[in-house]
């Protein structure tokens, strides 16, 4: 069995996911980092050179590969579970953990980061709000565990996930 941690950018998927993997004795894989490693390109480079569609194809290929393995905590990219094929594949072999945070918290956590292609816009707050509105119904539908990370440390989030795992 795996644990797939997903949600919007800046909710703590990578940091809390890595801590959870360590606590469980699982291997942690951050999907975005793995895609960068495999392609030799950063996520912003993939978006600008190859387009979002190509990035989503790479993401789906990785999900299908990981869904066939066990003993992983998977830090899913922000849009990975928005793809229903990915969501269904992960649901078969993973406990799905949906992390949320307030819009302000997301903007505070991601505001200084230059590698967020979806936030390279005039109004990042509106973009985050729109993404939440668009993706929340799917994210909530698949969530087996849901945790609001607003104001919580990565350690506290990892501990809460571990306590709530089946």
pLDDT at 118: 59
- Give yes or no for a contact between 111 and 50, defined as CB atoms under 8 angstroms apart: no
Residue-number span of the structural domain to which 92 is assigned: 2-154
Is position 80 within any domain?
yes
Is position 162 within any domain?
no
Q: What is the pLDDT of residues 116-144, one digit of tens each?
A: 655 666 787 888 899 899 989 989 999 99
- Give yes or no for a contact between 11 and 149, defined as CB atoms under 8 angstroms apart: yes
Q: Is pLDDT at 58 greater than 60 in this prediction? A: yes
pTM greater than the 0.95 cutoff? no
CATH code, domain carrying 59:
3.40.50.300
């Amino acid at each position: 069995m795996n644990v797939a941690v997903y949600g919007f950018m800046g909710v703590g998927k990578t940091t809390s996911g890595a801590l959870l993997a360590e606590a469980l004795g699982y291997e942690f894989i951050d999907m975005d980092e793995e895609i960068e490693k495999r392609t030799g390109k950063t996520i912003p480079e993939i978006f600008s050179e190859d387009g979002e569609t190509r990035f989503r194809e790479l993401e789906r290929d990785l999900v299908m590969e990981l869904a066939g393995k066990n003993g992983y905590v998977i830090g899913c990219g922000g849009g990975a579970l928005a793809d229903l094929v990915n969501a269904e594949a992960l649901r078969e072999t993973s406990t799905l953990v949906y992390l949320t945070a307030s819009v302000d918290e997301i903007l505070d956590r991601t505001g200084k980061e230059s590698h967020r292609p979806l936030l390279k816009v005039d109004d990042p707050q509106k973009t985050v709000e729109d993404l939440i509105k668009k993706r929340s119904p799917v994210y909530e539908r698949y969530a087996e565990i849901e945790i609001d990370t607003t104001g919580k440390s990565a350690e506290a989030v990892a501990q809460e996930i571990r306590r709530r795992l089946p």
